[in-house]
Structure 1
Amino acid sequence: MNKKCLTIVMLTALSQTACITTLPDFGQGGLAERSPNNYRTVNANEPLGPEHGLRFELELVSRHLDILILEGAELCFPATVVQAKHREIRITRQLDGNLDYAAASDLLIQRQLLMRLEHQLDYVKQQAVCEIPLANTHNQFDGHGNHDDHQRTEDLFSHLSDLLNADNQFAHDSAEINPKYIARLAQAAQILIKNKDITLQVTGYADDTGNNEYNQRLSKQRAQKVARYLKLLGINASRLSINAVGETQAPYEGTEPQVRLVNRTVKIELSDSIATNVASKPNVFQQIK
């Protein structure tokens, strides 16, 4: 067999055995987000451990969120639902990476968020503050353009959340903002100026170096600095609230340099105008019990 024939045979064999693998788009979280059941499974003769309880808890909160969406939560509180979906994805990835403490912490936050969302949804339905189409109790959308409107809203909140919660780490013992984060704040501000119903809660964090009192002040300074930039970029102060938790509620546990870096951060949560109004009413939860 001459060289030309050998080359043709080899190419033919390769073409028959090759396969095409499609990966999620960049920035979409990888395969862990596309396959929610890929974290640890229970094998035969394997003792059950805390991680299996966390997995079961994730399944419960996931179903809770599904029910609230079917009841209209996504139409009345799209920002809250987007945040809940993002946190659910993060918990899945934490369990896949054996980050049990981080997953447990986020599960507690998720459970509280869903309970608050349930109370708010009950209240707006009773008070007719947010009109939910009757068909929504059976289908997520009524098939007359609501899906497109909802998708645009969800995409908007998702994009804003990504802009406001990346490159948001701080140097050690500093409240100076990362220049990359300033650029992200500027991009987000242009969108927020056109969507005046969105409010923001800015929460500052600190790592575990230094004493608690100092870290509390430092985390507040970080939140204040971010809020100040947003105001300079055109966001009305009435749309901003500031919170600081110091090192007491650090996102991750550990003393490694990389862990301390991600704990020196500011996180921004988005809220809808309806959610803000409901939360500001006195004794709302007592009224709906």
Structure 2
Amino acid sequence: MRLYYRYIALLIATTLTLGCTSYPQQGTGGLAESYASAGFSPVMPDEPLGPEHGLRFDWQLAKLHLDALIREGAKWCFPAAVVQALEKQNRIARELEGGLLLDAANDLVIQRNRLNRLEQQLDYVTSQTRCAPPSDQNQLNQQLAIVDKLFNLLNVDNQFAFNSIEINPKFMGHLAQATHLLNEYPMLSVVVTGHADSTGSEEHNNKLAKGRAEQVKRYLTIFGLEAKRVSTQSLGDSLPLYQGDSPA
């Protein structure tokens, strides 16, 4: 495969979640996110329609979009991106089933942007070449398993101290583990995306998001990852991963 097939996106949440995190009902979160069903509870004729029904419709549209991209070859051209999109799709389904509507709405915005970007990349690649299954399927499956492990390892809550670029000790351990895995698979590169919540000024949020993304890159390189394998970008508060309305 070519080099551009091997990028994984590392989303860095730049808002404090301690004290501001919502939780689903028992049995509707956690590891269940990896096994979401494709459907939801049916809408009864006498049931009033609410925001959750609109979110379910948006989820179905995102699922159809992702399925179409997979059929067009995204699974072969951008396997890591597809793995992460499927993870996010399952997470949104569990949030909807658990009644976490605000979290689901935020994740749907992120998913739509991710799928639009994937579609643009796929259109560009397929205009010049053809996406085809690899000659060694076992090797691809192994690499996708590593991407999935890295995704779950790095996309966790409480990565930073409140309103600071300082990394929490537990997340620092995750970065060390990720570096060890990445050094075993030199064909993988990391894109660190900084996000901020909607509180504070735009200038402050942009600076905070960029600073945190750069801090993650710094620690990855300290732990032994080549700097050229890590790139950073910042979305500021234009696409928050979490709502920032609650005091932390």
Do both share a fold (TM > 0.5)? yes
Following the alignment from structure 2 to structure 1, what is the Cα–Cα distance between the partners of residues 32 and 194?
31
- TM-score for both structures, normalised by structure 2: 0.76
Matches of residues 8-19 of structure 1 in structure 2 within 5 Å? none
Note if contact 1:33-1:92 (Cα within 8 Å) is conserved in structure 2. Answer: no
Asked if residue 214 in structure 1 is aligned to residue 215 in structure 2, the reply is no
Larger radius of gyration: 1
Note if contact 1:202-1:242 (Cα within 8 Å) is conserved in structure 2. Answer: yes
Question: What residue in structure 2 maps to residue 204 of structure 1?
Answer: 194
Shift of 1:48: 2.2
Question: What residue in structure 2 maps to residue 232 of structure 1?
Answer: 222
Following the alignment from structure 1 to structure 2, what is the Cα–Cα distance between the partners of residues 246 and 145?
40
Cα distance change on mapping 1:206 and 1:73 into 2, 3 Å: closer
Shift of 1:151: 2.1
Matches of residues 64-143 of structure 1 in structure 2 within 5 Å? 64-128=65-129, 131-133=131-133
Asked if residue 149 in structure 1 is aligned to residue 150 in structure 2, the reply is no
- TM-score for both structures, normalised by structure 1: 0.66
Following the alignment from structure 2 to structure 1, what is the Cα–Cα distance between the partners of residues 237 and 42?
33
Code of the aligned partner of 2:132: I
Shift of 1:40: 4.6
Code of the aligned partner of 1:52: H
Deviates more, 1:193-202 or 1:32-41: 32-41
Cα distance change on mapping 1:112 and 1:247 into 2, 3 Å: closer
Partner SS state of residue 241, structure 2: coil
With CA pairs under 8 Å and 6+ residues apart, which has the higher RCO, 1 or 2?
2
Partner SS state of residue 84, structure 2: helix
Q: Deviations over 1:211-260 (max 9, x none)?
A: 44333322322221111111222222222222234444321225335xx5
Question: What residue in structure 2 maps to residue 191 of structure 1?
Answer: 181
Partner SS state of residue 127, structure 2: helix
Shift of 1:172: 1.9
Note if contact 1:75-1:132 (Cα within 8 Å) is conserved in structure 2. Answer: yes
Following the alignment from structure 2 to structure 1, what is the Cα–Cα distance between the partners of residues 71 and 198?
41
Higher helix share: 1
Q: How many residues in Structure 1 have an aligned counterpart in Structure 2? A: 220
**Percent identity (aligned):** 45
Unaligned runs of 5+ in 1: 1-27, 134-140, 261-289
Shift of 1:165: 1.7
Code of the aligned partner of 2:108: L
Partner SS state of residue 71, structure 1: helix
Asked if residue 158 in structure 1 is aligned to residue 174 in structure 2, the reply is no
Cα distance change on mapping 1:235 and 1:206 into 2, 3 Å: same
Shift of 1:87: 0.9
Following the alignment from structure 1 to structure 2, what is the Cα–Cα distance between the partners of residues 187 and 37?
33
Cα distance change on mapping 1:145 and 1:238 into 2, 3 Å: closer
Following the alignment from structure 1 to structure 2, what is the Cα–Cα distance between the partners of residues 50 and 167?
26
Unaligned runs of 5+ in 2: 1-28
Following the alignment from structure 2 to structure 1, what is the Cα–Cα distance between the partners of residues 46 and 179?
54
Cα distance change on mapping 1:39 and 1:234 into 2, 3 Å: same
Code of the aligned partner of 1:105: N
Cα distance change on mapping 1:227 and 1:99 into 2, 3 Å: same
